[in-house]
Amino acid sequence: MNKGRITLVSNNYWTLYKFRYDVIQMLVNEGYSVNLIAKKDSYHMNFSHKNIKKHFLPLQERGKNIFNEIKTFLTIYKLHKEINPKIVFNFTLKPNIYSSISTRILKIKTVSMITGLGHVFIQKNIFLKYFVINMLRISLKKSNEIWFTNKFDREYFRQKKILRSQKTFIVPGAGIKIKNTKVLRKHIDKKCNFIMVARLLKEKGIKEFLSAAKYFKNDQDKDFILIGAHSDDNDHVSKKLLDHCVKEKLIYYHPHTDDVDSFLKKSHCIIHPSYREGISTVLLEAASLKIPIITTKVPGCIDIVLSEDYGFLCEASNSQSLIAKVIEFITIYKRDPGSIDRKVNKVFEHVSKNFNRENIIEKFKLTVQ
């Protein structure tokens, strides 16, 4: 029995696979016909069910070419008009703007999920930020619901008067499946492995991680492992710097993996020096595996590591602060490893209680009914 058509719009199929796969699976199991709209990449191959229809966008995630942006908007508009879904879920910035304007014109029920205030809001381009804020005011005005991944972003939208009378909810990202409640933290024997998993964007704190690795270059008891895809643009750390760090053996670098857990399980501590997040999925994964965390005091990270009782918190965009926390972690571990256990147990309990993926899937299920 077909209950109707549901559409999800995102930047690319990687985000739909990485963060929404369980939701899409639930919708199909519930009897809905699911339409996916996103930029084409290899991850679209993961969606092969007969009740899933895939549509591809000419979307450039950070592009500013006006003709391409108009083309992307018109593609989304035409698809919504053709599909005429029961409800549309929008994720990431451009889909939230272009798709929400389209559904407003077509009078289609819309849920806009703000998955974080990233690139546009962190950089210093005041004109671009002003333009995007005004576009959000227009596009989200008639959204039936707006979901935020953390309370800080919702408050920012209120301060900027993007929010009016729309219903808002906190839906903490994709959540996490607690795979094994008996998981034990890996103890340090000869070497301490510090790992960072992220796209190699400057705003993820890659430079700070590389600076920390350089600082500990002569320490034979520490390894720094970096996992993440690199692109040749100004938003990513330079390839020259990355290659230098690999050549000098400051880090071990892996461009990509679909099995993050296998790397995390071999690490003693995860470092995530991001400048801002929606909700950091990699921190949720680390917390669920009881891996100690060093991260920044920014939205999307302090929602998981609430205080120093839960992990180690450094200042964003501050290499020295990060280095100090690495030293503190090693010092405390040698002096009182039990205190590390208490931190990881607290963050594990916090994540298990507040970021359960089943609760997030249930929110989607109730919304489409």
User: Which tokens hold the place of 270?
Assistant: 């995860």
Q: Considering only CA atoms, which of 88, 75, 78, 103 is closest in space to residue 34? A: 88
In the chain, helix, strand, coil percent, each to 5?
A: 45, 20, 35
Using the structure block, give the residue that is written with the tokens 């920044």: 296
pLDDT less than 70: residues of the chain = 1, 120, 123-124, 179-189
User: Which tokens hold the place of 205?
Assistant: 């704190």
What span, in angstroms and rounded, lies between the C-alpha atoms of 309 and 155? 25
Q: Where are the domains of the chain?
A: 4-171, 192-354
Using the structure block, give the residue that is written with the tokens 């680390």: 286
Say if residues 255 and 365 touch (Cβ distance below 8 Å): no
What's the predicted TM-score (pTM) here?
Answer: 0.90
What span, in angstroms and rounded, lies between the C-alpha atoms of 49 and 25? 9
Q: Considering only CA atoms, which of 279, 276, 282, 313 is closest in space to residue 295? A: 313
What span, in angstroms and rounded, lies between the C-alpha atoms of 132 and 140? 12
Collapsing DSSP to helix, strand or coil, 104 comes out as: helix
Q: What does the pLDDT read at residue 241? A: 93
Say if residues 91 and 8 touch (Cβ distance below 8 Å): yes
β-sheet with 252-254: strand ranges across: 252-254, 222-227, 192-197, 269-272, 293-296, 312-314
- Measured over the CA atoms of residue 58, residue 46, residue 118 and residue 206, the dihedral's sign is negative
Q: What does the pLDDT read at residue 130? A: 86
Q: Is 5 exposed, middle or buried (0-12, 13-18, 19+ CB in 10 A)?
A: middle
Q: What does the pLDDT read at residue 218? A: 87
CATH fold match for the domains 4-171 and 192-354:
yes
Helix axes 281-288, 337-354, angle to 10 degrees: 120
**CATH class of this structure's domain 4-171:** alpha beta
The CATH H-level (homologous superfamily) assignment of domain 192-354 is Glycogen Phosphorylase B; (3.40.50.2000)
